Amino acid sequence: MTKEHICIIYGGKSAEHEVSLLTAQSVINAMDKERYAIDTIYITNDGEWLKGPAITQCIEDSETLRLSESDGQSVSDMLNKSTTGHKYDAVFPLLHGPNGEDGTIQGLFEVLDIPYVGNGVLAASSSMDKLVMKQLFATRGLPQLPYVSFLKSEYEAHKENIISLVEGKLTYPVFVKPANLGSSVGISKCTNTEELKQGIEEALQFDRKLVIEQGVAAREVEVAVLGNETPETTLPGEVVKNVDFYDYKSKYVDGQVKLQIPADISPEIQTTLRDMAIEAFKATDCSGLVRADFFLTVDEKIYINETNAMPGFTKFSMYPLLWENMGKSYSELITDLINLAKERYNDKKNIKYKMD
């Protein structure tokens, strides 16, 4: 059988760099080595692109993926030719955060005319920016919690006015979030004015735009979406926390979070959540994969929190586990995503770019 040539891209100039290494290790180990010829490109914390040797066996330690020497190739050469000289059937960006899931690298793939796994430029960028995402959700009538958003420059010029605006529109607790990061990086739960100011200062270290959201007593449930024009969804899963706030440390360091799959909710609520996940997918023109996150209150009110265009994707992350519950293994999911990338690429080839 002729192997398909796939390039895994990971690392990145992002606060979520370490998460990306773990994701790359997990995906590489799960890929069918008889079906795929696997190359790797590592992007350092400083943004340098380094191409690694072909991968033929499992990665025992994610640190071995942290490359340090350049082979002198240009970025376009790295992406256009595999280590054996073949054109890639698809590249698989396993990059979290800015410069990875925000549409920028997707734009590079588009310019170089390379099939790639996951969402396109518009979907990636709008799903990455929490404010733009919320505005698009509103056009679909998806229910959301109240929020306030502002720029770093506005806060520096009018600190007290913005604090008053937040406290006038929202009630404590509130959540302060960088608009363009995931994995709970830079997010703070604030219960008073002093904590709010500290949370804003913390979040502004990671982004120039912040979103402050109303806190709510609710369960956190998530739905996985897979597909292009006709997406499919999973049953919802629930994030069960042993901590008050599901932050980066509790996610990736302390293991203070458990996943209940499927979530213990009524069939009617399951259906509503799955329908809303499709609406959110369409609102941001997504393709490939998305995880839609919701709040479910005691009185069964549903609020959409966000969509994640490059959700956590290790073997033990919510997105793959939701599909495993539906009967789709991690390896099968990876294969499906590669096939969806090729499908979307081929569909775009049928679009006319000039008049006859």
Both structure tokens of 222: 């998530």
User: What are the pLDDT digits (tens) for 279-321?
Assistant: 999 999 999 999 999 999 999 999 999 999 999 999 999 999 9
Q: For residue range 203-256, what is the model confidence (pLDDT) as tens digits?
A: 999 899 999 999 999 999 999 999 999 999 999 999 997 655 555 444 444 456
Q: The whole model's pTM is what?
A: 0.90
Cα–Cα distance measured from residue 181 to residue 211, given in angstroms and rounded to the nearest whole number: 11
Residue 49's pLDDT band (cuts 50, 70, 90): very high
Residue with tokens 């256009």: 80
Cα distances (angstroms) measured from residue 66 to each of 13, 55, 69, 167, 179: 13, 14, 10, 44, 28
* 247 shares a domain with 133: yes
CATH code for position 204: 3.30.1490.20
| 352 compared with 202, residue with greater pLDDT | 202
Whether 296 and 334 share a structural domain:
yes
Residue 107 burial (C-beta neighbours within 10 Å; 0-12, 13-18, 19+): middle
Range of the domain at 228: 127-143+217-346
What average pLDDT is seen over the chain?
A: 92
* Cα first-last separation, the chain: 40
**What's the structural domain count of the chain?**
3
Do 229 and 327 share a structural domain? yes
Considering just the CA atoms, what is the radius of gyration of the chain in Å? 21
Q: Which of 214, 229, 253 is the last residue of a domain?
A: 214
